[in-house]
Structure 1
Amino acid sequence: DTPVGILQEAFVAEYAKPGVKFTLRGSAWKILNIHNDKIYVRAEDDPTGAIPSWVGEQIPVPFEVAMEVGEIKGFVEDNLNHGESADWVAKALSERYPAKPETMKRILKEMVDHHKHGYPLPTNKRVLVEDWDDNVIIHANFGSLANRTLSRIVGHVISEATGYPVGVQQDTYMIITQTVGEVDARYVARMLKTLAKKDLTDTINEAVTKTGLFKKRIINVARKSGALSKFANFSNITLGRLMKSFEGTIIFEEAMKDTLRQDLDVETTLELLRQMAEGDIEVTVLETEDDVSPLGQLGVDSISMKVDIVPPEKITKIIIESAKARLYNETRILTCLGKHDWLQEMQVGDFPDKIQCPLCGSTEIAVLDRTPEDVAEMMARTKGRYKFDPPWWWKQGEDASKLVSIYGRRAGIIAAAKRVENEIAWDILAETEGEGDEFFERIVEAEREALKKRFM
């Protein structure tokens, strides 16, 4: 037998039974059988339906901090609406917060892209709801605990209304819930506006008892009180039976108190729902015409790592779309290797189909990930004959410039990728056309292989 890892007790108690698939250390495994304290598994190629085996907890972002981020988004939107540039907004915010304007501009990038699409931004006074595939994204700047609480309420209410289990994920600034039946963004928006009219005490308690957080708490409390042996073998009992046996006891009550006090923020969530019901916080449905918004893409990128609800083909599509967005938004220095008399900083997405020097007409253009000062210095040193050995990045730019001369923009995109070898770049350009999925999929694969070579 070869050990592959250790599973947490709460996970074993809740999920461990033959046939269940789970993810551990980046791989999918299927449970074959359970014997005493050992679980026998086999590797699975298809991760669809696998349950994440970790119960990780990040340091929560406080409600106040998240709301301030929402206020910043409102500031960005107001100024962009009044015609101010992204550079102006970044500079203004850099005077309020300890960050350089260029750093602030990178931070604001998705917000600016979101605004360019004509979408309103989620702020401290506005919640956005949008459809994404079989999910609904709720953009809510409420912080870790309030969003965790709200996500449990939303998931529970949808599940009770439809009769189907509903998966939810959340982070500091958004909630993503699966959709079933008639549930869509409009359905969820209406629900958010009306939840405050209901007595949510029982709803919250019922929702809490179904969470892994509560199950983890009840095990801890039971152990501390001596009601559960620290050597208890969770492979031989179900957590449902364990919880049933503790219902109505002080152990159950203490576990509930611990969960409500440490893992959730019910009071803040109820107040936010009241504000949504009364219109103090606007709830807006985002019409994206089946596309995901730039801010929504951040959530999509995050949820793509959770293979329990995203099948492999969707993961591939998400990775490709993320690669496109990443590469198009990179900024590189273009420099002429003909007469060494021109350089320009440009976003990759703005590269022309034919890249050439506007001064001498040369198409041998290097695409470099360096500062303009570094590039200008190297241009001067390599003009004419030179006897020194240039740095690797300059050599790489010289090699790639041959491809740029032949293939133009597409070669420039590959040159902007992470350490794609020139021979691989030749193959990609020769074997693909345009800037379709295959083109970017090959780039992602080349980047992955380059990373392996670097660290293995």
Structure 2
Amino acid sequence: KGIAERFGAIRRGLTVGEGDLRSLEIRFANTPIYDEAVREALLLHADFDRVREIVHKIRGGEIEVVIHRSEETPTPLAYPILRRYVEAPELFSPEAEREEILNRMRLHLSSEPVHLLCFECGHFHEEVRIGEMPDHPECAKCKSRLLTVLGWAAWTVRDAYAKRARKLDLTDEERKLLTRAKQVADLVAVYGKRAVYANSVYGVGPTTASKILAKMQDTEKEFLNDLFEAKLKYVTTRPYWNAPQAKPKLY
């Protein structure tokens, strides 16, 4: 992040959520920013002399390498690797970590910037952080609460809305995206910020979000737990779906 800031690729001092931090490696692959990050990591954060010493001691028998195989759950050393590379590392986490997982999920969602589109006047709100929203967010222009949450197709939906406003013909895909966006806007109008949270979770669409929000959970923990369970269900059942899915969100 610091190197991207120095290159001017992202704004200095910008709060970046855990998911976005992990995506920087992908976004800046094959760029001078990536090359400089690798160079700096090797220069400042790699102790090659110590690594050589350990390897020599292993070869000389001074350090014994013990292999531990876990048949049922990943080993403690495996969890950080799974969190980095597996689409849903929560699938492999012990139940005892559930509260910590929910807390990480809350922190990530709160710092996540989302795009909002007002279905009343068409005003586009770019990169609004969920945690900074009021309980019932309103359009900055017309004060309507009919706001939809836009993800990877943000600009496509915005352009489709503009086309519809000008009474231009829409493609089938644009109609489908607008229909889904309107469903989300209806949820936000009724449930407020909780609906924004729900529709920002990977694998949770408006239909699933509607069922979760209708439960009117008494506590934030219960609400997050329901979102967490919905995400896990999506990840575990997605391989059996025939329809192509959107690119996974990197958490």
Alpha carbons 2:121, 2:142 under 8 Å: kept? yes
Q: Greater strand share, 1 or 2?
A: 1
**Runs of 5+ consecutive residues of structure 1 not aligned to the other structure:** 1-71, 77-88, 114-139, 151-200, 216-297
2:208 to 392, 416, 424: 424
Residue aligning to 2:37: none
Q: Which amino acid aligns with 1:351?
A: M
Residue aligning to 2:137: 355
Note closer, same or farther for the CA distance 1:414–1:377 as it changes in structure 2 (3 Å cut).
same
> What is the rounded CA distance, in whole Å, between the counterparts of 2:224 and 2:47 in structure 1?
35
> What is the rounded CA distance, in whole Å, between the counterparts of 1:353 and 1:363 in structure 2?
11
Q: Which amino acid aligns with 2:101?
A: I
> What is the rounded CA distance, in whole Å, between the counterparts of 2:198 and 2:91 in structure 1?
29
Alpha carbons 2:116, 2:125 under 8 Å: kept? yes
What are the superposed Cα offsets for residues 161-183 of structure 1, whole Å, 9 maximum, x if unpaired?
xxxxxxxxxxxxxxxxxxxxxxx
| Alpha-carbon distance, 1:369 to partner | 0.9
* Residue 440 in structure 1 maps to residue 224 in structure 2: yes
Residue aligning to 2:194: 410
Note closer, same or farther for the CA distance 1:380–1:305 as it changes in structure 2 (3 Å cut).
closer
Alpha carbons 1:351, 1:412 under 8 Å: kept? no
Note closer, same or farther for the CA distance 1:148–1:300 as it changes in structure 2 (3 Å cut).
farther
1:337 to 119, 143, 146: 119
Q: Which amino acid aligns with 1:212?
A: V
Note closer, same or farther for the CA distance 1:350–1:146 as it changes in structure 2 (3 Å cut).
farther
Note closer, same or farther for the CA distance 1:432–1:143 as it changes in structure 2 (3 Å cut).
farther
Alpha carbons 2:102, 2:224 under 8 Å: kept? yes
Q: Which amino acid aligns with 2:66?
A: G
| Alpha-carbon distance, 1:307 to partner | 11
Find the residue that maps to 2:229 and give its secondary structure: helix
1:397 to 170, 177, 181: 181
> What is the rounded CA distance, in whole Å, between the counterparts of 2:135 and 2:89 in structure 1?
34
> What is the rounded CA distance, in whole Å, between the counterparts of 1:423 and 1:371 in structure 2?
18
Note closer, same or farther for the CA distance 1:382–1:305 as it changes in structure 2 (3 Å cut).
closer
> What is the rounded CA distance, in whole Å, between the counterparts of 1:412 and 1:331 in structure 2?
11
Q: Which amino acid aligns with 1:326?
A: H
Percent identity between the two aligned chains: 20
Structure 1 stretches of 4+ moved >6 Å: 147-150, 304-308
Q: Which amino acid aligns with 1:380?
A: A
2:10 to 70, 86, 101: 101
Residue aligning to 1:91: 5
> What is the rounded CA distance, in whole Å, between the counterparts of 2:121 and 2:139 in structure 1?
9
> What is the rounded CA distance, in whole Å, between the counterparts of 1:426 and 1:318 in structure 2?
26
| Alpha-carbon distance, 1:327 to partner | 2.2
> What is the rounded CA distance, in whole Å, between the counterparts of 2:121 and 2:105 in structure 1?
33
Note closer, same or farther for the CA distance 1:91–1:142 as it changes in structure 2 (3 Å cut).
closer
Structure number, greater radius of gyration: 1
Aligned residues: 197
Q: Which amino acid aligns with 2:200?
A: A
* Residue 212 in structure 1 maps to residue 126 in structure 2: no
User: What's the TM-score, normalizing by structure 1?
Assistant: 0.36
What are the superposed Cα offsets for residues 238-263 of structure 1, whole Å, 9 maximum, x if unpaired?
xxxxxxxxxxxxxxxxxxxxxxxxxx
| Alpha-carbon distance, 1:375 to partner | 4.2
| Alpha-carbon distance, 1:429 to partner | 1.3
Note closer, same or farther for the CA distance 1:345–1:148 as it changes in structure 2 (3 Å cut).
farther
Note closer, same or farther for the CA distance 1:301–1:362 as it changes in structure 2 (3 Å cut).
same
User: What's the TM-score, normalizing by structure 2?
Assistant: 0.60
Question: Greater RCO between the two (CA within 8 Å, min separation 6)?
Answer: 2
Q: 5 Å matches for 1:7-156?
A: 90-92=4-6, 94=7, 100-101=9-10, 141-142=45-46, 146=50
Note closer, same or farther for the CA distance 1:145–1:368 as it changes in structure 2 (3 Å cut).
farther
Find the residue that maps to 2:106 and give its secondary structure: helix
> What is the rounded CA distance, in whole Å, between the counterparts of 1:306 and 1:144 in structure 2?
33
**Runs of 5+ consecutive residues of structure 2 not aligned to the other structure:** 22-43, 69-79, 241-251
> What is the rounded CA distance, in whole Å, between the counterparts of 2:130 and 2:200 in structure 1?
7
What are the superposed Cα offsets for residues 170-221 of structure 1, whole Å, 9 maximum, x if unpaired?
xxxxxxxxxxxxxxxxxxxxxxxxxxxxxxx9xx966x22x326x9xxxxxx
Find the residue that maps to 1:346 and give its secondary structure: strand
> What is the rounded CA distance, in whole Å, between the counterparts of 1:430 and 1:145 in structure 2?
58
> What is the rounded CA distance, in whole Å, between the counterparts of 2:189 and 2:180 in structure 1?
14
Q: Which amino acid aligns with 1:409?
A: K
What are the superposed Cα offsets for residues 358-380 of structure 1, whole Å, 9 maximum, x if unpaired?
22221110100147643442231
What are the superposed Cα offsets for residues 103-154 of structure 1, whole Å, 9 maximum, x if unpaired?
xx78x756xx9xxxxxxxxxxxxxxxxxxxxxxxxxx94469948989xxxx
What are the superposed Cα offsets for residues 11-55 of structure 1, whole Å, 9 maximum, x if unpaired?
xxxxxxxxxxxxxxxxxxxxxxxxxxxxxxxxxxxxxxxxxxxxx
Alpha carbons 2:199, 2:205 under 8 Å: kept? no
Alpha carbons 2:114, 2:129 under 8 Å: kept? yes
| Alpha-carbon distance, 1:411 to partner | 0.3
